[in-house]
Amino acid sequence: MTDLVWFGELLLAEPRLRIVHAKAVGGVYGLGLHGQRVGGVEVWGHGGSWGGYQSSLLTVPDRDAIFVGLTNGSRGGKALYDLEDEFFYRLLGERRPVPPTVELPDDARDELTGSYANSSAWYEVSFAVDGLALKLDDGEFGARAIGERTFEITEGDHVRERFDFPLEGFGRFGSRLAERIA
């Protein structure tokens, strides 16, 4: 945890490290960091997971503030999200904005449905009335479109987790890219 705080301090001290390289739904990416605005203020950060642990590093340069969170559970991302929003509320008086739902035609959603797999997991994506449904090892979860190829889970233990389809024939579920096989 001390290392993350040290890195957060470095990010606050060196603005040139926050170079934007790509635009994504809800923010921008640069050098492994994602950027967004909360209450009109720039926020930079990076989340991660490994071996059942979840982590979050957020910096708010205009307020010289750092948030670091670590959990020891695979569902810790949901707890971290809630803690981050409380951090934003106490620091900025606002929580992060919720991306609007994008209405997609049935054929656009239908072309994304199917089975996706990689060396460690299997994912089933099916058509749902309000978006798509994603079947994981622990159940099936509804998701709404927040971009043309980006979806956010709306229920259960995976609420607010996102998955997308960055390349034709591939889906990204968490940080794992999986190829469409059927």
Share of the chain above pLDDT 90, in %: 57
Q: How confident is the model at residue 61 (pLDDT cuts 50, 70, 90)?
A: very high
pLDDT of residue 175: 75
**Segment 111-143, tens digit of pLDDT:** 999 999 999 899 999 999 889 999 998 899 999
The predicted structure's pLDDT at residue 20 = 55
Predicted local confidence at residue 107, as pLDDT = 93
Phi, psi values for residue 102, rounded to 5°: -100, 130
- Residue 103's alpha-carbon distances to 94, 150, 154, 156, 167, in angstroms, are 27, 12, 15, 22, 21
Edge-to-edge, what's the strand order for the sheet holding 65-71? 22-24, 27-30, 33-38, 41-50, 53-60, 65-71
The predicted-structure confidence for 1-35, as pLDDT tens digits, reads as follows 788 898 888 888 877 666 555 556 555 545 567 88
